[in-house]
Amino acid sequence: MAVPPLLTLQGVALTFGGTPLIENAELSVSPGERACLVGRNGSGKSTLLKIAAGLVQPDQGERFLQPATTIRYLAQEPDLSAYETTLAFVEAGLGPGDDLYRAQYCLEQLGMTGQENPAQLSGGEARRAALAQVLAPMPDILLLDEPTNHLDLPAIEWLEQELKSSRSALILISHDRRFLENLSQSTMWLDRGKTHYMSRGFSAFEEWRDDILAQEERERHKLDRKLVAEADWLRYGVTARRKRNVRRLANLHALRQERRDQRQVVGNVAMTITEAEGSGSMVVEADAISKSYDSRPIVSKLSLRVMRGDRLGIVGANGAGKTTLLKLLTGELEPDEGNIRLGTNLEMVTLDQQRSSLKPDWTVSETLTGGRGDTVMVGGQPKHVIGYMKDFLFSPEQARTPVSVLSGGERNRLMLARALSRPSNLLILDEPTNDLDLETLDLLEEMIDEYKGTVLVVSHDRDFLDRTVSSVLVAEGEGKWIEYAGGYTDMLSQRGHGVEARSIEKVKKPKPANPQNQPKPESNRRKLNFREQHDLKILPEKIAELEELAAKLQLKLDDPDLYARDSKLFSQITDKLGQVQSELASCEDRWLELEMLRQEIEET
């Protein structure tokens, strides 16, 4: 008997004036399901997630949540103003019976102590606290909107493992391809207000999407041909049998209305980079450079040479000094020791993660033209600013829109548009993937691949690094940096492990005035909660079952004639084996985590 879904949306529609943002959308969440929600920027993904969370009321449609189902939604702009510390904020999200230890654990894994003052948090820190608050209770349903924003690589990889081992159902919005591929088991595509569902993960999305769009194009072509034929009849057809002709004319009007009502696919960004004359063969040479802040080494005795055409990725945990290193290599900062030598004929363009070079009171048009005239020089040729805006999916009406009211994705596209119009042979990209949709990311990757100059990029996006860089410079701690050939995955295979998180200094609480040798009260000691005890008991048996099932599936795949005999069955068994192996790895990780925790508790 099929298990009923925990949450369903049926026939949901919402309009914010003009064209409906969402129309007749469907969504279903089953227990333990891990689904990704994808779509272009502005397609309504975040709004649909808010409707699912019960935070936004649709114009029409039904929302049903199974009684007693717990649901947590990751807010884009969390409000922590009512709490004294981040730990108090996270603990406020726990329900009766939830483990208090989870609040501190999640905060520490996300690089926070729990003692931070909410009034002094940056936007990224507030987002990490909000992520800890929704993860700590382990609810039945998790609705996560861009959870990897403002996370470094160690935190992203920890979050992946945490979600894999969780029993919570998951609906995930993210621009991080690797994150989506590693987590999703099904895909929901929101396109022009309607949802499409696929029972496979994100790795199969692009082929599936292209098939749907190709089918739409064929149907649109048939409709256009029928319109032409009917219009030709209207001009030259016989006028006899007037009733029939009137009905046919009404059908023609209906066809025209159907064609007008069809919502067209949103266009793609048209990126063209303006390249300057070539630089010298040597672009940057660092000779034993060092830089420290408050006695903490950021860079220590680093020697590095960047040649023309190199694509260098810089990775490390938050606070490792990636942006500082970038400023040293580009001459913006002077090293404490050593020498930096820049090559000849350098034309540098920078895309910074804070978007600090955008003036909030300027309009989109002024930002692109520098406040002078209405043309932009692209590739040495003048282009009207409205036409150039359209290349980056801005409407003509947005020409006079102030930068301050643009969304994060729109600001990023505006930064790209301005940066790519300037002549350059050295491109500096500091977290360029933030808030970009997947289609725009594809085009940015293609542009970098075709760029003849040199690229220095700081990013936490593993897939983006694999697709764009030729070497990776990794923070090893204590100011030490080591360069590895290839992308992020190549670095992992050479290094043996990923980027490690920086240790955080915990704020020590004053000890109570108890006698020195007085034992800690039993009630205050950390214990395994009921769920952890239950998992620790059942996981060994479940792991054995999964290993046995994986062996049986592998035995079937070992049949050399299976694919030729039944290719569909071969694909089904392959998909099933992948799911079983993924579940097996999650169970093993969870058992190991609990066993280590049990031993730690016994020792203390």
Binding site for ATP, by residue number, is 39-46, 316-323
b vs e for 11-20, b when ≥16 Cβ sit within 10 Å of the residue's Cβ? ebebeeeeeb
Helices (H), ranges, 166-241: 177-183, 205-236
Q: What is the 3-state secondary structure (H, E, C) of 98-164?
A: CCCHHHHHHHHHCCCCCCCCHHHCCHHHHHHHHHHHHHCCCCCEEEEECCCCCCCHHHHHHHHHHHH
DSSP SS3 for 510: coil
CA distance to 176, 456, 485, per residue, from 463 (Å): 7, 16, 16
- How far apart (Å, rounded) are the C-alpha atoms in residues 237 and 184? 56
428 - beta bridge partners? 350, 456
C-beta neighbour count of 387 within 10 angstroms: 13
DSSP SS3 for 63: strand
Helices (H), ranges, 288-398: 322-329, 364-369, 385-391
DSSP SS3 for 321: coil
What's the chain's length in residues?
604
Strand ranges (DSSP E) for 15-91?
A: 22-29, 34-38, 60-65, 71-73
Q: Which of 499, 496, 449 is nearest to 474 (CA)?
A: 499
Q: Backbone phi, then psi, for 495, in 5-degree steps?
A: -85, -30
Please, how many CA atoms are within 13 Å of residue 334, restricted to the half-sphere of its CB? 1
CA distance to 92, 144, 300, 323, per residue, from 133 (Å): 8, 12, 37, 29
CA distance to 210, 228, 255, per residue, from 215 (Å): 9, 20, 19
Residues 6+ apart with CB under 8 A from 552: none
Degrees, nearest 5: CA angle 78-82-85 = 85
b vs e for 23-42, b when ≥16 Cβ sit within 10 Å of the residue's Cβ? bebebbbeeebbbbbbbbbe
Q: Which of 475, 62, 436, 380 is nearest to 268 (CA)?
A: 436
Binding region = 39-46, 316-323
b vs e for 89-127, b when ≥16 Cβ sit within 10 Å of the residue's Cβ? bbbebbeeebbeebbbbbbbbbbbebebebeebeeebbb
Strand ranges (DSSP E) for 204-310?
A: 282-293, 296-307
Residue 471 tokens, joined:
């070497």
